[in-house]
């Protein structure tokens, strides 16, 4: 007759099963899902692991029935997150779950002391340590977010655009008003070099997309049409008179095209800073895989951000921006809210590109396209040429030693972006074709 299985094998098999199940669920059937689903299925997978330990250990000489408690707690939270999507939006839950987890870990440490197996030291205790670290990170993150709200008060105003409010901050004076649209995932602080420089010549407005920075979350999907409508309503309700010079960096350029496709009479001129093309999926062979891969991977970012990992990941980012802008960027980028917004933006990108194709021409409005040539992927320059062809009154400036992000965040490179904006402002004011800079 065969002897009972060793409890150590049961401990390893059960917890490894829970971990592997979590990875498989997140990587495949639920890849790219919303934060509540990702967090929920991970907790449910971990619950399966603890439940297996409680059940299977009954066949050993050391039953570990205490494992049914973490299984039950994680199952309750997991089912709750899946069934109640808005749970992740409530700050009180951000305070609650770390305290529950810390209490659970302390209780498990006490109950696991009776396990006579080396797995208690080299597996269970490390697992308890990881869980405690996650809880401490959660408390740290929710505390930092609370303090950041006081440390970084909103400049400008909140304007109702139809069910939610967007942040708008206008500085300087003069006409035409320049409106700056940031790149993917960015907030208004990303214009820390450019906005003040241009404000010396004309009025400049920066704003945050819905669910990002100081803006409130939207009530529906934020595709290209929705973003254009939001911006139109924002400027109208804030009584910012047009027509405007629109400036878009990266994805912001895509949103400029969407706005122009629907409100062309409100556009006086355009500056595109290494802007996203409407043909990324059809003309760049590697882009579809990159987009799908990033969409899947970024779905776990909101959950990780709740553990304070964003504070580590972004701590040294944005260091080329002015000090205040850099601190604001780190504070907002580190949050689960920002990560959710980025995932939503990435998901809607194919639709926004398709919608922007309805723009046929910007003529005779002045258009300057700045292209970052440093490490530009194959096929990028031709797409930038096509953007410049949207107007007969255009100038395409390729900057071979400038990188994509540095057009906004590097003081020296951003000065070239500021100069391009001034050139369009001057062309609008004079009514003359763009003056080409000396080669």
> Are 179 and 88 contained in the same domain?
no
Does residue 221 form part of some domain? yes
> Are 185 and 312 contained in the same domain?
yes
Q: Mean pLDDT over residues 408-426, rounded?
A: 98
CA distances from 256 to 180, 227, 232, 263 (A): 9, 10, 11, 10
Does residue 300 form part of some domain? yes
Does residue 294 form part of some domain? yes
- Residue 248 parent element (H or E): strand 244-249
> Are 101 and 39 contained in the same domain?
yes
- 378-383 contacts: CB < 8 A, separation 24 or more? 378/284, 379/283, 379/284, 379/285, 380/284, 382/283, 383/277, 383/279, 383/280, 383/283, 383/284
Q: CA 304 to CA 137: how far, in whole Å?
A: 10
28-32, 86-90, 354-358: the lowest-pLDDT one:
86-90
Cα 373 to chain center, whole Å?
25
> What are 201-215's pLDDT values in tens digits?
999 999 999 999 999
Q: What's phi and psi for 372, nearest 5 deg? A: -80, 110
Q: Which residues touch 312 (CB under 8 Å, ≥6 apart)?
A: none
Q: What are the residue ranges of helices labelled H in 357-410?
A: 380-388, 406-409
Q: CA 323 to CA 321: how far, in whole Å?
A: 6
> Are 80 and 42 contained in the same domain?
yes
> Are 147 and 161 contained in the same domain?
no
Does residue 1 form part of some domain? no
Q: CA 392 to CA 376: how far, in whole Å?
A: 25
Q: What's phi and psi for 362, nearest 5 deg? A: -110, -5
> Are 133 and 166 contained in the same domain?
no
Q: Mean pLDDT over residues 227-240, rounded?
A: 98
> What are 172-207's pLDDT values in tens digits?
999 999 999 999 999 999 999 999 999 999 999 999
* Residue 436 in this model has a pLDDT that exceeds 80: no
Does residue 437 form part of some domain? no
* Residue 431 in this model has a pLDDT that exceeds 80: yes
DSSP bridge pairs for 168? 157, 207
Does residue 178 form part of some domain? yes
pLDDT classification of 2: cutoffs 50, 70, 90: low
> Are 180 and 109 contained in the same domain?
no
CATH of the domain at 231: 3.40.50.1820
Of residues 166, 146, 138, 155, the one with CA closest to residue 234: 166
Q: Mean pLDDT over residues 310-319, rounded?
A: 94
Last residue within a domain, chosen from 151, 179, 210: 151
Classify residue 386 by burial, with Cβ atoms within 10 Å: 0-12, 13-18, 19+.
middle
DSSP states along 158-200? EEESSSSEEEEEEES--SSEEEEE--TT--GGGGTTHHHHHHT
Q: Mean pLDDT over residues 107-122, rounded?
A: 97
> Are 70 and 31 contained in the same domain?
yes
pLDDT classification of 4: cutoffs 50, 70, 90: confident
* Residue 21 in this model has a pLDDT that exceeds 90: yes
pLDDT classification of 437: cutoffs 50, 70, 90: low
Q: CA 181 to CA 140: how far, in whole Å?
A: 32
* Strand-strand pairing, 267-273 and 394-399: unpaired
Q: Mean pLDDT over residues 380-394, rounded?
A: 98
Predicted pLDDT of residue 88: 87
Number of folded domains that form the chain: 2
* Residue 18 in this model has a pLDDT that exceeds 60: yes
Q: Mean pLDDT in the chain?
A: 96
Of residues 425, 381, 376, the one with CA closest to residue 404: 376
Predicted pLDDT of residue 333: 98
Share of the chain above pLDDT 70, in %: 98
* Residue 53 in this model has a pLDDT that exceeds 60: yes
Q: CA 99 to CA 97: how far, in whole Å?
A: 5
* Residue 235 in this model has a pLDDT that exceeds 60: yes
> Are 94 and 163 contained in the same domain?
no
Predicted pLDDT of residue 1: 38
Predicted pLDDT of residue 438: 55
Sign of CA dihedral 44, 334, 230, 151: positive
Predicted pLDDT of residue 211: 96
- Residue 270 parent element (H or E): strand 267-273
Does residue 436 form part of some domain? no
> Are 132 and 184 contained in the same domain?
no
Does residue 87 form part of some domain? yes
Domain residue limits at 120: 7-151
* Residue 327 in this model has a pLDDT that exceeds 50: yes
Of residues 191, 189, 156, the one with CA closest to residue 171: 156
Q: CA 334 to CA 326: how far, in whole Å?
A: 12
Predicted pLDDT of residue 130: 98
pLDDT classification of 439: cutoffs 50, 70, 90: low
CA distances from 92 to 61, 95, 135, 336, 417 (A): 42, 5, 14, 15, 43
Angle at 213 between CA 207 and CA 219, to 5 degrees: 85
Last residue within a domain, chosen from 109, 125, 151: 151
Of residues 238, 164, 228, 152, the one with CA closest to residue 203: 238
Last residue within a domain, chosen from 151, 182, 211: 151
> Are 216 and 249 contained in the same domain?
yes
> Are 273 and 421 contained in the same domain?
yes
């Amino acid at each position: 007759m065969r002897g009972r299985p060793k409890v150590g094998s049961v401990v390893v098999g059960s917890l490894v099963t829970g971990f592997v199940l979590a990875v498989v669920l997140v990587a495949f059937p639920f890849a790219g899902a919303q934060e509540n689903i990702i967090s929920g299925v991970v907790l449910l997978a971990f619950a399966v692991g603890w439940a297996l330990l409680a059940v299977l250990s009954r066949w050993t000489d050391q039953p570990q029935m205490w494992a049914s408690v973490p299984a039950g707690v994680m199952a309750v939270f997991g089912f709750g997150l899946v069934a109640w999507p808005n749970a992740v939006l409530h700050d009180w839950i951000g305070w609650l779950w770390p305290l529950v987890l810390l209490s659970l870990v302390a209780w498990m440490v006490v109950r696991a002391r009776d396990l006579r197996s080396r797995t208690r030291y080299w597996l269970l205790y490390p697992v308890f340590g990881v869980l405690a670290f996650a809880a401490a990170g959660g408390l740290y993150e929710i505390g930092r977010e609370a303090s950041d709200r006081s440390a970084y008060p909103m400049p400008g105003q909140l304007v109702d655009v139809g069910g939610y409010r967007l942040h708008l901050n206008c500085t300087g004076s003069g006409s035409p008003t320049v409106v700056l649209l940031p790149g993917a995932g960015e907030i208004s602080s990303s214009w820390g070099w450019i906005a003040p420089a241009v404000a010396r010549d004309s009025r400049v407005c920066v704003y945050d997309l819905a669910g990002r920075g100081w803006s409130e979350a939207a009530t529906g999907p934020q595709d290209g049409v929705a973003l254009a409508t939001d911006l139109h309503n924002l400027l109208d309700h804030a009584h910012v008179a047009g027509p405007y010079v629109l400036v878009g960096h990266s994805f912001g350029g895509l949103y400029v095209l969407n706005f122009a496709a629907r409100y062309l009479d409100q556009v006086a001129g355009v500056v595109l800073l290494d802007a996203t093309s409407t043909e990324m999926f059809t003309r760049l062979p590697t882009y579809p895989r990159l987009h799908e891969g990033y969409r899947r991977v970024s779905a776990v970012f909101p959950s990780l951000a709740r553990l304070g990992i964003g504070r580590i990941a972004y701590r040294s980012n944005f260091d080329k921006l002015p000090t205040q802008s850099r601190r604001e960027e780190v504070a907002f980028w580190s949050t689960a809210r920002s990560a959710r917004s980025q995932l939503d933006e990435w998901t809607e990108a194919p639709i926004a590109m398709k919608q922007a194709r309805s723009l046929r021409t910007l003529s005779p409005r002045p258009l300057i396209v700045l292209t970052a040539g440093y490490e530009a992927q194959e096929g990028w320059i031709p797409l930038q040429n096509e953007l410049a062809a949207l107007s007969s009154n255009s100038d395409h400036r390729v900057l071979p030693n400038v990188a994509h992000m540095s057009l906004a965040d590097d003081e020296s490179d951003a000065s070239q972006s500021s100069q391009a904006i001034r050139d369009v402002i001057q062309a609008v004011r004079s009514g003359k074709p763009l003056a080409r800079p000396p080669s």
